[in-house]
Amino acid sequence: MQDMMDTMDIAFPHLGIYLRNVPKTITIGNFSIALYGIVIAIGMLCGIALAAHIAKKTNQNPDTYWDISIWLIIFSIIGARVYYVIFFWDAYRNDPIQIFNLRGGGLAIYGGVIAGVITAVVYCHVKKIRPRVVLDTAAYGLILGQIIGRWANFFNREVFGGYTDNLFAMRLPIAMVRERDITADLASHIQAGTNYIQVHPTFLYESLWNLMILCIMFWYRKRKKFDGEMMLLYFGGYGLGRAWIEYIRTDQLYITGTTIPVSMVLAIVMLAVSIVLDIYGRSRVKKLEQAGIARIPLWTLQIPGSGSDAAGKGSRKEREPDPEDPNAFDTLEEYQKSVQKADAASAPAKEKTSSPVGDTPTTAPKESGKEESRPQNEEDAPTAVGEDPTGASNEKEQPENKSE
């Protein structure tokens, strides 16, 4: 590898990769479009498409995810930007208008995720859709979007770590990176006669880590114990990876007044909360199984062949028990009521016998050998008010038939 790099070059020396003239923007006429934004947009579209595909495979309505994506994109971008500005306010204090300059980067994924989850929950509440089902499905699209979106940082020459000489070490021309991202330790490793820094490509680490999580999610999806577990798997897995990746990044955002990386703290909290909630969810499933409920029906967003969705304008639809989703109901009582309702709907219609107030029915249980003494329709005959209930004993006189 050469000691001096051209301004637009990027190299991975130990992998034998030298990329020349890697652009930051593309120009159409007199208008320049940042590749950062293009890659982010591609990641979003691919993520939505994957979520819609998963929805179709699990008997949901794919259109639900295309509809909600409009709101998710808007509020996720706002959340990502607000998060970044809050924890890096010094960069915008003297020039607030730069807050709206998204072309220069400055989107924090945690802010986007937090805003996205809140948006999804609110949307589900309004549309009467089960949020845990939606979050499980959206988790696939979210992590795919991150896998692709991290490469926007590659084109922007950002989100890298300190000095390293490992297999994946990346070289960037000093002129192409932000001065604030070059720490004192990193600057001390700049060799005389060179014009580049050699760093950890943390964007690459995170992209590969997320790809591993996505593969685990696909493997585990038919083994999940309850709705919401796939989202917890995403939160826990991403939190675990982000904690150690954030530790080596040079562009950390700190909790105000401290030198504690806020994203590292959130990653650890997210991992811990995910583990606790997963343990709770599994214990809940175990209790249901011990109560004799091995599998519980799942409310889906769309019933095959019905043409309606479980947003269903507020209605809740049911289908046959799904072994992949054993814990769709919120409480055991809720499940039992659903079972009773289903049993009542499937039972043959029967006419009921009315009884006088305070008395017992006039029809006595059938006894062996005496059925011939009872009228054919006696079981269905109503009892007149004031009639002596003992008159329906084994005597052969027929009661008077009256219509209600």
Quote the pLDDT of residue 103. Answer: 66
Quote the pLDDT of residue 371. Answer: 45
367 located within any domain = no
Quote the pLDDT of residue 335. Answer: 55
State if pTM tops 0.85: no
Q: Which residues in the chain show pLDDT less than 50?
A: 295-331, 350-404
The H-or-E segment that residue 238 falls in is helix 229-248
Q: How far apart are CA 122 and CA 128, in angstroms?
A: 10
380 located within any domain = no
Quote the pLDDT of residue 236. Answer: 97
C-alpha distance from residue 301 to each of 49, 123, 127, 248, 329 (Å): 17, 14, 11, 42, 14
Quote the pLDDT of residue 288. Answer: 81
DSSP one-letter string for 313-355: GG-----S--TT----SSSHHHHHHHHHHHHHHHSPP-PPPP-
Quote the pLDDT of residue 17. Answer: 95
Output the CA torsion 373→378→382→385 (10° steps).
10
Quote the pLDDT of residue 287. Answer: 85
The total number of structural domains in the chain stands at: 1
Strand partners, 199: 163, 170
pLDDT in tens, 328-370: 444 455 555 666 676 676 665 544 444 444 444 444 444 444 4
Token pair 């305070």 in the structure block, residue: 358
The helices-and-strands tally (H runs, E runs) of the chain is: 10, 6
305 located within any domain = no
User: Can you read off the two tokens belonging to residue 103?
Assistant: 């072309």
Q: How far apart are CA 381 and CA 379, in angstroms?
A: 6
399 located within any domain = no
Question: Which letter does DSSP use for residue 397 in this model?
Answer: P
Quote the pLDDT of residue 102. Answer: 75
The bridge status of strand 170-173 relative to strand 31-34 is unpaired
User: Can you read off the two tokens belonging to residue 4?
Assistant: 């001096």
CB atoms within 10 A of CB 280: 11
333 located within any domain = no
Buried/exposed 54-67: b ≥16 CB within 10 Å, e otherwise: bbeebebbbebbee
Quote the pLDDT of residue 383. Answer: 41
225 located within any domain = yes
4 located within any domain = no
Question: Which letter does DSSP use for residue 389 in this model?
Answer: G
395 located within any domain = no
Q: Which domain holds residue 251?
A: 10-289
CB atoms within 10 A of CB 71: 14
User: Can you read off the two tokens belonging to residue 182?
Assistant: 């070059």
